[in-house]
Amino acid sequence: MAKTTEVILALDVPTQQDALAFLERTRGELTWVKIGLQLFTRHGPDIVKAVADMGYKIFLDLKLHDIPNTVSSAVKSLKGLPVELLTLHTVGGAEMMRWAVEAAKETNPDLKLLGVTVLTSMDDAQLRETGVPTGAPEQVERLARLGQASGLPGFVCSPLELPSLRKILGDDSLLVTPGVRPAGADLDEQKRVMTPRQAAQAGASHIVVGRPILKAPDPAQAVRAIAQELRDA
Ligand code: C5P
């Protein structure tokens, strides 16, 4: 892949105060920050504006899933907010995704929608309970094809799904991958991980890294080391 894989910090901290204090320590080293449900539910658009005002690009991980009108209205409600990546569930269906893509175009030319396929917390038994008879890999591929056909420019996927999705979706699709751990880092509860280099080589356009940066004694240095590994991949 010609483009260097980019690092996104998963800003999984409880409050805006914690978030902004932490981001002072990585300013200038890090481009992307993922704001998830924990911070957004508490602070709403204010946290997005505050982080963007520090110069970071925003990945808003809300995993939208509702009827097409509600999802597209939610996307339109982001108008004026500097969000560049936003997640939604592909299992919401083609119509929901198409409406969301149209809404994104109207809302913000920089906004790209990322599809979530099968949550990695779901195993095959749990999928069967929800009426999906095939295993997770097949369902991931089916939903990714549907998402791409519905106009989604990218997907969130596990490191293990990268090779097959890159092959199916082609070079232009964004593939954003959590579950990444630098060699020797604590795995926390992540089970099937790749290193930044492996994820880049397997086709990730972006990697999402939380605790290895959040818990590092020198977070700026941790970001620099990951970025270097990605450039060398
Ligand atoms: O701290 P860590 O690097 O494990 O954080 C990974 C981030 O990616 C968290 O925000 C987590 O919610 C998210 N994520 C994940 N696995 C998935 C989907 C999202 O770890 N399958």
Confidence (pTM): 0.96
Query: pLDDT (tens digit, 9 = 90+) per residue, 120-158?
Result: 899 999 999 999 999 999 999 999 999 999 999 999 999
Q: Mean pLDDT throughout 196-214? A: 97
- Which residue, judged by its Cα, is nearest atom 18 of ligand 1? 178
Structure confidence at residue 198 (pLDDT): 97
Q: What is the DSSP string of the chain?
A: --SPPEEEEE---SSHHHHHHHHHTTTTT--EEEE-HHHHHHHTHHHHHHHHHTT-EEEEEEEE-S-HHHHHHHHHTTTTS-EEEEEEEGGG-HHHHHHHHHHHHHH-TT-EEEEE-S-TT--HHHHHHTT--S-HHHHHHHHHHHHHHTT--EEE--GGGHHHHHHHH-TTSEEEE--B--TT---TT--S-B-HHHHHHTT-SEEEE-HHHHT-SSHHHHHHHHHHHHHH-
Structure confidence at residue 2 (pLDDT): 56
Structure confidence at residue 67 (pLDDT): 98
pLDDT bucket at 1, cuts 50 / 70 / 90? very low
Query: pLDDT (tens digit, 9 = 90+) per residue, 159-190?
Result: 999 999 999 999 999 999 999 999 889 999 88
Q: Mean pLDDT throughout 109-126? A: 94
Q: Please state the atom number of ligand 1 nearest to the C-alpha of residue 188.
A: 4
- Which residue, judged by its Cα, is nearest atom 9 of ligand 1? 10
Question: Distance from the CA of 12 to the center of ligand 1, in angstroms?
Answer: 9
Average pLDDT, the chain: 96
Q: Please state the atom number of ligand 1 nearest to the C-alpha of residue 116.
A: 18
Q: 177 in ligand 1 pocket by Cβ < 6 Å?
A: no
Structure confidence at residue 50 (pLDDT): 98
Q: 158 in ligand 1 pocket by Cβ < 6 Å?
A: yes
Query: pLDDT (tens digit, 9 = 90+) per residue, 43-79?
Result: 999 999 999 999 999 999 999 999 999 999 999 999 9
Q: 182 in ligand 1 pocket by Cβ < 6 Å?
A: no
Architecture of the domain spanning 6-232? Alpha-Beta Barrel (3.20)
Point out the residues that are catalytic.
63
